[in-house]
Amino acid sequence: MNNKAFNIDNRKCIHCGHCIEVCPVKLLKISSSDNITVFKENVTTDCIECGHCSSVCPTNAISLPGVASDNNSTAQASVDIGFNKLSTFLKSRRSIRTYQDKSVEKEKIEQIFDTARYAPSGANTQFVQWQIFSKEEELIDLTKLTIVWMEQVLSDKTNGLFPPEIAFFQQCINAWKNNRNIVLRNAPHLVLVHGPKESMLHIDSTIALDYFELAAASAGLGTCWAGGFYNASTRYQPLINYLNLPDGHICYGAILLGYPKFKYRTIPKRNSSKVIWR
């Protein structure tokens, strides 16, 4: 963004300096001549349009074109959830592998995507993009291509797979031969993230998928990471061709989506966290 587009209403500014402290690329300062917040001279870094400065301003004095708040809600709402309520929600999330035989309403999926776009990304690049498959014939095609890839990998004695991977691939193949799909679990939707082949984008994509699945859970939906499909989507050219992603893009992860067939009523036990305190 052109740094000159940054605007501050000096009638509202109280010179608290919050915007200066939170700017991740340290572009702001208090002018010594007229005591107002301005961009530093001769900076070599551009504004990354994260919106931290305008969001932290207690008097709404800062505006950045294209970085305005999407609505009138405030971040205070996230604090109002309360730790105990949020903790219970996170502990209650389950990986769903059995789904109702019905599609999720498009409006509901759009709301989840709208939430997931707020997932943090490195330097606010927002490179993550999405693709969703909802047609039954396409989901079957994707499963078939994944199974073929698994068969080819297992036939190669130098595949370098670990025993658990070999067992899982064989399980998927055997199930498919018996008319059971444990690759995509007969889910009505498959959601994947993709983007340019960047060194850090796999981290941004994982965070975005986490935002998506947690938002989905809050909407009464179930998700499960489609690990077998994801592995094939990055290695098997016929499947890569089928996805038809934009040039230079690769798949960074995929999850199943649908209405859970069953309701989970208790929270399963988990091992205690192993923490080294320094």
Regarding beta strands 222-225 and 62-63, do their DSSP bridges make them parallel or antiparallel, or are they unpaired? unpaired
Q: Please check the confidence at residue 90 and state whether its pLDDT lies above 90.
A: yes
**Distance between CA 172 and CA 167 in Å, rounded?**
9
Ranking 20-24, 111-115, 258-262 by mean pLDDT, the lowest is: 20-24
165-197 pLDDT per residue, tens = 999 999 999 999 999 999 999 999 999 999 999
Q: What rounded mean pLDDT belongs to the chain?
A: 91
Contact of 49 with 78, CB cutoff 8 Å: no
Cα–Cα dist 125/121, whole Å = 6
Q: Which amino acid is at 34?
A: D
CA 133 to CA 263: how far, in whole Å? Answer: 25
Task: Judge contact between 171 and 106, C-beta under 8 A.
Answer: no
pLDDT value, residue 69 = 56
The region of weakest confidence among 1-10, 176-185, 191-200, 242-251 is 1-10
Q: What percent of the chain has pLDDT over 90?
A: 69
Handedness of CA 136, 141, 142, 148 (dihedral sign): positive
Could you give phi then psi for residue 228, rounded to 5 degrees?
-65, -45
Give residue 49's Cα distance to chain centre.
Answer: 19
Instruction: Give 224-237 pLDDT, tens digit per residue.
Output: 999 999 999 999 99
CATH class of 89-258: alpha beta
Contact 235, 111 (CB under 8 A): no
Q: What angle do CA 174, 175, 181 make, to 5 degrees?
A: 140
Q: Tell me the pLDDT tens digit for each residue of 21-30.
A: 999 888 888 8
Residue 130: pLDDT over 80: yes
Sign, CA dihedral 133-134-140-143, equals positive
- Domain borders along the chain are 3-63, 89-258
Listed in sequence order, the residues at least 6 apart from 13 whose beta carbon sits closer than 8 Å to its beta carbon are 36, 37, 59, 61
Query: Quick one: pLDDT at residue 249?
Result: 96
Query: CA 229 to CA 149: how far, in whole Å?
Result: 10
- The predicted model gives 134-161 an average pLDDT of 96
CATH architecture of the domain formed by 3-63: 2-Layer Sandwich (3.30)
- Residue 37 tokens read as 């917040």
Q: How is residue 9 written in tokens?
A: 């209403």
Q: Three-state DSSP class for 23?
A: coil
Q: How many angstroms from the chain centroid is the CA of residue 28? A: 30
Question: Is the pLDDT score of 68 beyond 80?
Answer: no
22: left (phi over 0), alpha (psi -120 to 50) or beta: alpha
Judge if 3-63 and 89-258 fold alike in CATH terms: no
pLDDT of the residue at 1: 46
Q: What span, in angstroms and rounded, lies between the C-alpha atoms of 203 and 122?
A: 9
- Mean per-residue pLDDT for 40-50? 80
Percent of the chain with pLDDT over 70: 92
Query: How far is 200 from 7, CA to CA, in rounded Å?
Result: 32
| Strand order across the 189-196 sheet | 129-133, 189-196, 249-258, 222-225
